[in-house]
Structure 1
Amino acid sequence: MAGRSSAFSVTVDTVRLEEIGNSLSHLDDAALGRSAVTAVNIVAQKAFADAKAKMNAGINLPDSYLDERMAIELATDPAKPRARILARGRLTTLTQYGAQQSTRPVKFSNDSISPGKLGRNPRKAGSLLPWKLRVGNQALGIPVGMKQDGISVEVTRGGRKSITSVQPFFVRGRSGNLLVMTRKPGTTGKKRGDLKALYGPSVYQLFRAALDETFLNDVADRLGKTVVTLTADELKKALGNE
């Protein structure tokens, strides 16, 4: 894996061509090249679909999100029949995993004291503050009389969980999208730490996890069988023209 991307290559396994034996002498390089390119592309497209299905099994990401961050490069060169499946892109913010604002009632509601009078300071016992109306936060979907109480996410479908240990909160980014953030611990002489974005499993991480030994062995086996089948078809055509 280089940087924030991952690639999986599919190439021809010529050993399986031994099944056709000496009959290959009836085929020219162009016919063999056509068979190899076609076989690689057939298997690569099937592997692409299988990888996506495996990546998204139980993970709460839409297919459209995976499509935007994955690509397939089909083989074109008969002398070097290679296709590549790529997974790339930025880290996946928790917002993509259905992040929702959790709320709880404020300690002192608007009807607990008359506006304009001094009220109890919820941050310092025994002190008073000029009363301010609780207005909620329309942008974050927090109604009047409620306040933030962490964020819940659904990384796996049907498995919504609350995140409270790092006190996450929403911040609207420059592009207008909501990001799930927390604050790093403040350093000496600094009251508040820097903001830190929270992420879930990224597309390239899911892709890497999907490429286990069983998956790779299945692709290799399918490629070998496909090469043999297509090469045999080319051989039948060649023999029929003799």
Structure 2
Amino acid sequence: MAIRSSSFSVTVETATLKEVADSLSHLDGATLGRAAMTAVNQVALKAFSDAKGKMNAGINLPDSYIDDRMAFEQAMDPAKPVARILARARNTTLTQYGAQQMTRVVKYPNDSFKAGAMGKNPRKAGALFPWKLRVGNAARGIPVGMKQDGISVEVKRGSRKPVTSVKAFFVRGRNGNLLVMSRKAGTSGKRRGDLKSHYSLSVYQLFRAALDETFLNDVAVRLGSTVAALTADELRKALGND
């Protein structure tokens, strides 16, 4: 399956900038291209850092998780000074948002019956079933005498909430990681529905949200001033005023 990505490009056409118009007759294209490429890389790198800070403001994702799903491609060609910030469009499971097992006390604790003895089945009137010791589930954080009672997550830092839209529970995935899952409604002829994994805000979505009008305008202004400053430096060198 192809991995989609969202990219933000920083580029500049020096000939369209009023700030460098007076320099064009004194500097060759290669010099202007190098100045533009340096400016693009400086501004894009700062934008990369700013975007990550904005993405993670109040969101409960580790910086390392965001870094692993983003990339910075610097401009390498002075004739086409383009730098890119990339964010992979990969789903982020609820487990990444500090998912924790919620528990409640079992109805019949171990000291209320004798293991192996036959007792009334609370789910089927008139039926019997053999009592089994309650052992909990250490892998899912369920102690002895307790049973699962849903999952809580912390998408926004400091705001832990239970997952109430579905009956959520942990399932260990193929790679050994715990996933937050629920069951779909069973179809005709099936007693139990298929498992469904649950996700929340991905790095891709956070990145797209960070690129609002204010952010983009700030990058444009910073790029113009940086190109003008670097071009002015090159002009001073060309005129022997450095």
Q: Same fold, TM exceeding 0.5?
A: yes
- Shift of residue 126 of structure 1? 4.2
- Report matched runs for 1:4-23 at 5 Å: 4-14=4-14, 17-23=17-23
State yes or no: 1:235 paired with 2:235: yes
User: Which of 207-216 and 15-24 deviates more?
Assistant: 15-24
Matches within 5 A, 1:35-54: 35-54=35-54
Give the secondary-structure state (helix, strand or coil) at the position aligned to 1:129. Answer: strand
Name structure 1 gaps, 5 residues minimum: none
Partner of 2:211: 211
What is the alpha-carbon distance in structure 1 between the residues aligned to residue 211 and residue 8 of structure 2?
A: 8
1:81-106 CA distances to partner (integer Å, 9 max, x unpaired)? 00000000521011110000000011
Aligned-partner Cα distance in 2 for 1:136–1:231: 69
How do 1:80-229 and structure 2 match up within 5 A?
80-229=80-229
Q: Distance in 1 between matches of 2:138 and 2:218?
A: 52
TM-score, length of structure 2 as denominator length: 0.95
CA deviation after TM superposition for structure 1 residue 117, in Å: 1.9
3-state SS of paired residue (1:160):
strand
Equivalenced residue count is 241
Quick one: structure 1 residues 224 and 240, their matched pair in 2 at CA, closer, same or farther if it must change by over 3 Å? Answer: same
The one-letter code matched in structure 1 to 2:196 is K
Deviation at 1:3, TM superposition (A): 6.1
- Measured in 2, the distance between the counterparts of 1:23 and 1:202 equals 45
TM-score (norm 1): 0.95
Q: Which amino acid aligns with 1:162?
A: P
SS for the counterpart of 1:47 is: helix
Q: Judge conservation of contact 1:149–1:164 (CA < 8 Å) in 2.
A: no
Which residue is 2:31 aligned to?
31
Distance 1:125 1:109 in 2: 20
Map Cα deviations across residues 140-172 of structure 1 (whole Å, 9 max, x no partner).
111111000000000010000001331111111
Note if contact 1:70-1:87 (Cα within 8 Å) is conserved in structure 2. yes
Deviation at 1:115, TM superposition (A): 2.2
Aligned sequence identity (%): 75
| CA deviation vs aligned residue, 1:176-234 (integer Å, no higher than 9, x gap) | 11111111111111111111100010000100010011101110111011111111110
- Counterpart Cα distance in 2 of 1:39 and 1:74: 11
Q: Distance in 2 between matches of 1:211 and 1:15?
A: 26
1:209 and 1:241 map into 2 onto residues whose CA distance is: 45
